[in-house]
Structure 1
Amino acid sequence: MTTTAVLIVGAGPTGLTLACTLARAGVPVRIVDKSPEFHDGSRGKGLNQRSREVLADLGMGEDFTAAGNPRLTLRKYRGGAVIADHTPQEDAVPTPDVPYATGLWIPQWRTEEILRAKLASYGIRVELGTEVAEFTQDESGVTAALADGRRVRAAYLVGCDGARGMVRKALGLAFDGETAPELALVGDVEVEGGLDRGYWHQWIDEDGAVLLCPLPGTERWQLQSSPERDAEGRYEEPSLEVFQRQLDRHARIPGLRLSNPGWLSTYRVNVRMAERFRVGRVFLAGDAAHVHSIAGGLGMNTGIQDGYNLGWKLALVAGGLAGEGLLETYEEERLPVAAWTLKTTNERLRAVMEGMRKAGVGTEAGFSRDLTTLGVGYGWSSLAWGGRAAGERAPDAPCRDAATGEPVRLFEVFAGPRFTLLGFGPRSAQALARVSEACGDLVRTCLIDGGGEGLVDPDGHAWRAYGMAGREEPAADGPAADGEGGAGGLVLVRPDNHIAWTAAVDRGAEVVDRLERLGR
């Protein structure tokens, strides 16, 4: 029998994000997948703004930016003729508090490839062809029996093995919801005939549709199509021939030929959620916990954010910096988010289906600001300890190092598996020192506009983003005030960049008390 702190079952984006979060914190982790080889299908093809922030925090921001496409124009056809073009978030630009103005178009296999490379940098690799046949748990851990007869003992096990995975089924948890009767086809192909890769081509007619989306960094396209039935009315299996017939029927472009098929599949819209996300020392994340409509592209993103939320909590508990009670907040926080995701994607799917009845309307009918998930917070959580914006996402802000003048963003300060206590103004320095001494490795401190140390906020972006009062605004032709005389305040930011607590500068003892309770 081998041992580890956390055993992750399933090596998709959810499991890989969780593994990277744990590995960064130095937590022993194994990640296994029953597939004999890595998937090469596009499947989920977009990262939203919040997932980009998560992956940047884990040290992969530049890798994903280089691999993806931030903007793609949707070209809509009717009867084979171009009707309209639409570029979602065409005018969106980064702001001081939101560094990523758009999401990224990127095939899921490439997302997984980047995550695996980061995980390998910690000396951890996915164990392919490794199936968990069964597991048992007791008060101190989980024992997993592998299909080849080996056994693994772990403090915790996390099922990231998808909607059909064994972990949820072995726990006996209900997966209530519904499955749509309609079938759709999807696959990855190459296209001969000079189709412009600057567009997501959407041929939408009253009797069916074909969509071809270019996959960045490849010669391939993801093709989505309405199904084809045989003479008896049965659905045809996905094949290059079926795809070609559907393309010919709707695109009506001579010489446009599909070739070199890769991943080919079918899907039905499933809307289901597990009744619980935790049973003892076993957790569920991603599709193993919830599935929903593809409208809005939240599937992969919600899984990535599940893994990130669970990861920092497991890391603190496994590292002895927090007690078992912290793990209760995973289900407390993510189950309501999953319920919101099911509701939101249902609404977006209805919007798409209604919109596409009109010529010139395509999948953009399902887009909304909610889909960035920048607004997803945990205001109801027991980790929302009070004050302004407790539970909400912590905003970014450009600052400068007080000693060197070098630019530093708050997101750079937050990176890593610890809490961060921001102190605004010189009067917060005493509280920061007290917390740093009492809490050690659990928290880092950062003084903003404290006079000579920490960070300087020359344009006041951080003060405004966190609702801090008392700072003098910089003169139009002069330097910013350094916070002298300002009221300032304290903001405690969780390891996943959500606000835990906001308070006045004289309440450092309460920060210590709150953090010490995590260890109980």
Structure 2
Amino acid sequence: MPDETTLDVLISGAGAAGLTLAIELARRGVSFRLIDRLATPFHGSRGKGIQPRTLEVFEDMGVVDRLVAAGGPYPIQRHYGADGTFRDSPSTDSGAPTPQEPYRETLMVPQFLTEGVLRDRLAELGHRPHYASELTGFTQDANGVSIRVTNPAGTQTLRARWLVGGDGGRSFVRHELGTAFPGKTLGVRAIVADVTLSGLSREVWHRYAEGDMEHQVAICPLAGTDLFQIQGPIPSEGEIDLSAEGLTRLLAERTGRADIVVDTVSWASAYVMNARLAERYRTGRVFLMGDAAHIHPPTGGQGLNTSVQDAYNLGWKLAAVLRGAPDALLDSYDRERRPVAADMLGLATGLLAAMKQGDTRRGRDVQQLDIGYFGASPALLASERGGPLRAGDRAPDACLRGAGGQMRRLFDLYRGSHWTLLAFETDAVPLPVREGLHIHAIGPGRELSEEGDTIRQGYGLDPGDCVLVRPDGYVAAIVAPDQRAQLERFLGEVGLSAAGYGLDPGDCVLVRPDGYVAAIVAPDQRAQLERFLGEVGLSAA
């Protein structure tokens, strides 16, 4: 009989989504295994654009600087006419960074480099993907999922509390669940190939015969490599030669140039474009994410980004339920992420239609900075309050100065696996201390002060207001001083109860440098606390 291993989460698929989820679970101490049926990591560049919102996610995960160093900006597009003339245009409508939006430019990093950086980060956290390990069956019950994994050594039985399928557009997990995958085939078959070639400059993105679906081709230098990526539509039927010789002939036919020669092919694929969305992301104890949940045309560079953000949303919620949050919190994954994917499919399909007419420029709508989670969700405390922000919005960054004189950012406060509560211009301790929640006082003479009015204006706050920010950087609640009881109830509902300390409103907990509790005092015991602080060398004199 094969041995049975028990863990919290089994992740099937070690692409960008699977690696992101693994990192999110690892940094929260959740037990998991990440498997992939491939014998080695994927080595192609199917996804190469990292949008500004995903750069914010990667900053929180500790890898943004590595990715920027590994890749580079998108090059200028060079559009060639039939007569050999050309014109240049920007690839994206990127703006200058602001204190609220520190990343405004789409970064180019070939997918294999992005996934390599994520694997390195996962290794730092003490984990690695298990390759040549294929999910071959599973059954679920009220308490968990029994899973069969086959590898060269045989078949192993695993028992996990949850199973997550990030196993691509042909997802085994989705098929086994019987989850419908409605949508449509978009009538475009195309190639994508990573190659080395001679005859073209690496300074621009070369585009030929735009608007002509029989002859157009795009040849983009892949940042951080010596490769070019070739993309272009091909006939809907028949074999396509993806060898170096075959691609050289295709380029000669479509560019009219004999001097462009493909030397080697690193990776190549022919595929049919589809737009499909799983009818649900959760079935009991099994979840779908990434391409297993949504597939789309590549226009707009949305796929990898949406997949990473699926995993980023799901990871903290799985950990929260393990800490005691109600299981209903996991239902918010489908409620929040599925509408985002539906909008993304509409955007990518619209951009494909524009590309057929020769329009290849991309604007703010692809940057994912305006994505929000609205409507009924157990992960949000909605209110009727007006202002520039509401529960479900992305929490903007802002510039701060610490009481010690050093510059800080709001994103510095949000970075990590915790929730964050900002108490704006109030002297009252807003909530009891509890594990998993960082509380920061902001305002003149407090722990942190804002530079200019970036928080007051960007968040729409009045003195005494509090902002609760989720671990994934979205606003969970904005509450006035008279709404503390609602906030306290909400924190209990998402697994952040203060019960572990046995505290009442107004109580304070003093924790020693070694992590042990030194004192728990009620509001009428402040004088005793002051005397004790003096006795341990913390006099205010």
2:216–2:232 contact (8 Å) kept in structure 1: yes
Secondary structure of 1:149 counterpart? strand
1:373 maps to 2:368: yes
Query: What does residue 401 of structure 1 align with?
Result: 402
Counterparts of 2:44 and 2:456, CA distance in 1? 45
Q: 1:292 matched to which residue of 2?
A: 296
Could you state the TM-score of these two structures normalised by the residue count of structure 2? 0.86
Q: Aligned residue for 2:419? A: 419
Q: Are the structure 2 counterparts of residues 378 and 24 from structure 1 closer, same or farther at C-alpha, using a change threshold of 3 Å? A: same
Q: SS at 1:116's partner residue?
A: helix
Comparing 125-134 with 136-145, greater Cα deviation is found at 136-145
- CA–CA distance in 1 between the matches of 2:115 and 2:85? 35
TM-score (norm 1): 0.89
TM-superposed CA distance for 1:488, in Å, is 4.1
Cα distance in 1 for partners of 2:226, 2:489 equals: 56
Aligned residues: 482
Instruction: Give the letter aligned to residue 379 of structure 1.
Output: F
Residue 40 of structure 1 contacts residue 109 of structure 1 at CA under 8 Å; is this kept in 2?
yes
SS at match of 2:472: coil
**Residue 484 of structure 2 corresponds to residue 508 of structure 1:** yes
1:317 aligns with 2:349: no
- Quote the residue 1:223 is aligned against: 230
- Deviation per CA, 1:323-350, whole angstroms, max 9, x where unpaired? 2111010011111111111111111111
Query: Structure 1 residues 80 and 160, CA, compared in 2 at 3 Å: closer, same or farther?
Result: farther
Shift of 1:228: 5.9
Residue aligned with 1:247, SS: helix
2:380 matches 1:384: yes
Residue 169 of structure 1 corresponds to which residue in structure 2? 175
Preserved CA contact (<8 Å) 1:421 1:445: yes
What is the deviation of 1:239?
A: 2.6
Whole-Å Cα distance in 2 between the matches of residues 132 and 267 of structure 1?
Answer: 24
SS in 1 for 2:277: strand
Letter of the 1:199 counterpart:
V
SS of the aligned residue for 1:222 comes to strand
| 2:118 matched residue in structure 1 | 115
Residue 393 of structure 1 aligns with an amino acid whose one-letter code is R
Pairing of 1:13-52 with structure 2 (within 5 A): 13-52=16-55
Percent same amino acid among aligned pairs? 40
SS of structure 1 residue aligned to 2:488: helix
CA gap 1:296/1:89 in 2 versus in 1, 3 angstroms = closer
Which residue identity does 1:171 align to in structure 2?
L
Q: Alpha-carbon deviation of 1:442?
A: 2.9
Residue 472 of structure 1 aligns with which residue? none
Aligned to 2:219: 212
Map Cα deviations across residues 68-89 of structure 1 (whole Å, 9 max, x no partner): 2123211111226242111134
Contact 1:23-1:122 at 8 Å conserved across structures = yes
- Cα distance between partner residues in 2 of 1:256 and 1:421: 57
Partner Cα distance (2:235, 2:264) in 1: 21
CA distance in 2, matches of 1:423, 1:450: 12
Structure 2 counterpart SS, 1:212: strand
Q: State whether residues 336 and 374 of structure 2, in contact with CA within 8 Å, keep that contact through their aligned partners in structure 1.
A: no
Deviation at 1:254, TM superposition (A): 4.1
Distance across 2 between alignment mates of 1:78 and 1:250: 12
Instruction: Confirm whether residue 339 of structure 1 aligns to residue 342 of structure 2.
Output: yes
How far apart, CA to CA, are the structure 2 residues paired with 1:436 and 1:301? 37
1:283 aligns with 2:277: no
User: Which residue, out of 248, 258, 270, partners 1:244?
Assistant: 248
CA distance in 2, matches of 1:448, 1:279: 42
Residues 333-342 or 153-162, more deviating: 333-342
The Cα RMSD (Å) is 1.7
Distance 1:247 1:237 in 2: 12
Q: CA deviation at 1:101?
A: 1.5
Give the Cα separation in 2 of the matches to 1:430 and 1:185: 59
In 2, Cα distance between the equivalents of 1:71 and 1:269? 23
Equivalent residue number for residue 88 of structure 2: 85
Distance of 2:83 and 2:373 partners within structure 1: 47
Counterpart of 2:209 in 1: which secondary structure? strand
Check if 1:183 corresponds to 2:189.
yes
Contact 2:72-2:224 at 8 Å conserved across structures: no
Could you say which residue in structure 2 is the equivalent of 1:475?
A: none
Q: Which runs of no fewer than 5 residues in structure 1 stay unpaired? A: 470-486
Structure 2 unaligned residues grouped into runs of 5+: 498-541
Partner secondary structure for residue 112 of structure 2 = helix
Q: Distance in 1 between matches of 2:435 and 2:375?
A: 27
Separation in structure 2 between the aligned mates of residue 80 and residue 221 of structure 1, nearest angstrom: 24
Distance 1:461 1:71 in 2: 30
